[in-house]
Amino acid sequence: MKGLIHWADRIAEIAKKRVDENPILKKVVKKNGYIVYDEKTPSGRIHIGAGRGWIIHDLIAKAMRDKGMKARFILSSDDIDPFDKLNKDLGSKYKEYLGMPFRNIPSPVKGYKSFADYYFSECVERFKEFGIEAEIQSTGEVYDRGLFNQTIKTALDNADKIKEIYGRFSRKGSIGTKRLPFNPICGKCGKIGTTYAYKWDKEREVVKYRCEPNLVAWAKGCGYEGEISPYNGNGKFPWKVEWAAKWPTIGVVVETAGKDHFTPGGARSVAVTISDEVFNYPPPYPSTGEKIGRGYEFFTIGGKKMSTSKGMGVSFADMTDYAPANLLRYLLVKTRPHAVIDFDPVNTNKIILLYEAYDRTERIYYNKEKAANEKESEHEKRVYTLSHVGKVRKTMPLQIPFTYAVSLMQITKDVNKAIDIMIKTGHVGKLISNQDKTYVVDRLKFADKWVKEFAPKEYRFELNKTVPASVKRKLSKEQISALGNLAEELGKKKYNEPELFELFKKIIQENNLNNKEFFEACYMALLNKKHGPRLTGFILTIGQKKVSGILES
């Protein structure tokens, strides 16, 4: 099935088929194009789990455009949501803002319009790095512009129906089964999390409400009672109703979310039913009026689920401290949305495996390596296209194995010296292009960072200047003799890797050693460790003369 080898392409085809078969969606798409939508409440530092959703939606929109469909990915900041929890980054002074919309709370950092603007901008500013193409929207501004006015009126006119839907899925006595489906902003204290709307005057189109002192445990209302027009930003829907209202208001065709929202009877169930039965709008993929579908799996770090409001886990903005953005995008492109990603870059070899997988995909794309079969070849080439940040080059970038880069940076401790060695060993040509040099330098810099901050002990080493006395005492006469032979031979002529390996075999045989005894002796002499990088390449990288001098000691 050419062109449908990747999961994003399959979703694009499903969405197109749905639109073609549904008059309501057909009309929406004719007016707005195919809208792929996602949203996030900026309640604190936004974690990498949300980033998985952004890249999933970005990929679907890109797959649609590749098929000639007019598609847009819109990401909205739910900045009118109430502040309901102090996250660990904030001081106690922010307690006074609990219950207020995030967009009406001061930013913790100067230079931003609001609390919401700061935390959302922190992520959006990194989108170019991740190759995410999104139109950024403010949910609060959508309310201000009156775009929700019609769905607000529809919801309030059908308040009893919405209460009944809540009753189907919520526990008995849930607040959604009692209050009107609208939360006004209190005209006195400015809070939105503490207001309780109890009457809709259909003729005058105003909502009567109280700002309850004890409505929620996390914020205290001021006790004010009044009435207000529900339109033009004077309040918002409860979030499950809002989710449903956004779909017809924005014209959403595709919007998925984390699997926790797709628990049967949970938020997606309520939103899908309201969309279908109240707003008469077909719920977006992966839901239908009959089935909620499946959300995407979690992105965990070391098996731990992340939370924005609790300040748990690695933030989206900080994730590039642990892996380059293009590698993270590749990981998310390659992994199906319904598969769990548990990525722990600290004290594991997962970064190495990720680089190796990416390099293999790149080689397959440029026909430098054969895939197992045609299907895998198509898939890997599509993964490369979708995961590549920026324009795909006509020729393959210069590849330097990540483990080699790690060794180089520990030997040279300098990027320019590392490149000089690669020129000498033939890994890099003397006339390296600026584009390739940038590519190589980026890898060397990250290899240096990884080995200093995150690598397991077995990947770290310090090259000995001379063989330590403690090592000499541990070596047998045969091992010392073998090291002397190797030092002597390395001083005689230049070797390449195959020739060096043949020399090893000869020295092992002449000194009655086995392979393990010989290699352990070399590593102990050079690194004071029993293991290390592949010895042939390692010696040539350090330089034969330098290795010979160390071994002679």
Please report, for the domain that includes residue 127, its CATH number.
3.40.50.620
Q: Does 181 share its domain with 268?
A: no
pLDDT at 312: 44
Q: Does 267 share its domain with 384?
A: no
Q: Does 492 share its domain with 511?
A: yes
Q: Does 64 share its domain with 200?
A: no
Residue 138: half-sphere exposure toward Cβ, Cα within 13 Å: 21
pLDDT digit string, tens, across residues 454-466: 999 999 999 999 9
pLDDT digit string, tens, across residues 488-539: 999 999 999 999 999 999 999 999 999 999 999 999 999 999 999 999 999 9
- Is residue 49 within 8 Å of residue 298, measured between CB atoms? yes
Confidence band, pLDDT 50/70/90 cuts, at residue 344? confident
pLDDT at 310: 45
Q: What total of structural domains would you count in the chain?
A: 4
pLDDT at 271: 97
The mean pLDDT value for 19-47 works out to: 96
Assess if residue 154 is contained within a domain: no
- Structure-token pair, residue 433: 């292009």
Of 299, 319, 348, the residue that ends a domain is: 299
pLDDT at 135: 98
Q: Does 500 share its domain with 391?
A: no
Assess if residue 337 is contained within a domain: no
Helix, strand, coil % over all residues of the chain, rounded to 5: 50, 10, 40
Confidence band, pLDDT 50/70/90 cuts, at residue 102? very high
- Is residue 4 within 8 Å of residue 10, measured between CB atoms? yes
How far, in whole angstroms, is CA 20 from its chain's centroid?
32
How does DSSP classify residue 300?
A: E
Assess if residue 32 is contained within a domain: yes
Q: Does 186 share its domain with 114?
A: no
Please check the confidence at residue 3 and state whether its pLDDT lies above 60: no
Q: Does 14 share its domain with 60?
A: yes
Q: Does 207 share its domain with 253?
A: no
Please check the confidence at residue 327 and state whether its pLDDT lies above 70: yes
Q: What gap in Å lies between CA 531 and CA 522, rounded to an integer?
A: 9
- Domain of 175 in residue numbering reads as 169-236
pLDDT at 4: 63
pLDDT digit string, tens, across residues 369-414: 999 999 999 999 999 999 999 999 999 999 999 999 999 999 999 9
Whole-model pTM: value is 0.92
Q: Dihedrals φ, ψ of 77, to 5°?
A: -85, 115
Q: Dihedrals φ, ψ of 284, to 5°?
A: -70, 160
Q: Does 231 share its domain with 97?
A: no
Residue 419: half-sphere exposure toward Cβ, Cα within 13 Å: 19
pLDDT digit string, tens, across residues 472-491: 999 999 999 999 999 999 99
Of 236, 263, 287, the residue that ends a domain is: 236
| 371-378 long-range contacts, CB within 8 A, separation 24+ | 375/5, 378/2, 378/5
Assess if residue 340 is contained within a domain: no
Q: What gap in Å lies between CA 145 and CA 156, rounded to an integer?
A: 19
The whole-chain average pLDDT of the chain stands at 94
Of 236, 255, 277, the residue that ends a domain is: 236
pLDDT digit string, tens, across residues 161-220: 999 999 999 876 688 888 999 999 999 999 999 999 999 999 999 999 999 999 999 999
pLDDT at 174: 81
Q: What three-state secondary structure class fits 5?
A: coil
Q: Does 11 share its domain with 125?
A: yes
Residue 190: half-sphere exposure toward Cβ, Cα within 13 Å: 11
Angle at the Cα of 244 from the Cα atoms of 239 and 245, rounded to 5 degrees: 90
Please report, for the domain that includes residue 548, its CATH number.
1.10.10.350
Please check the confidence at residue 311 and state whether its pLDDT lies above 60: no
Portion of the chain with pLDDT greater than 70, in percent: 97
Q: Does 123 share its domain with 175?
A: no
Q: Does 230 share its domain with 265?
A: no
Give the C-alpha distances (Å, rounded to integers) separating 76 from 135, 260, 435, 480: 8, 20, 35, 68
Portion of the chain with pLDDT greater than 90, in percent: 87
Query: How many other CB atoms sit within 10 Å of the CB of residue 517?
Result: 16
Assess if residue 344 is contained within a domain: no
Confidence band, pLDDT 50/70/90 cuts, at residue 304? low
Which residues does residue 173 pair with via DSSP β-bridges, in sequence order? Answer: none
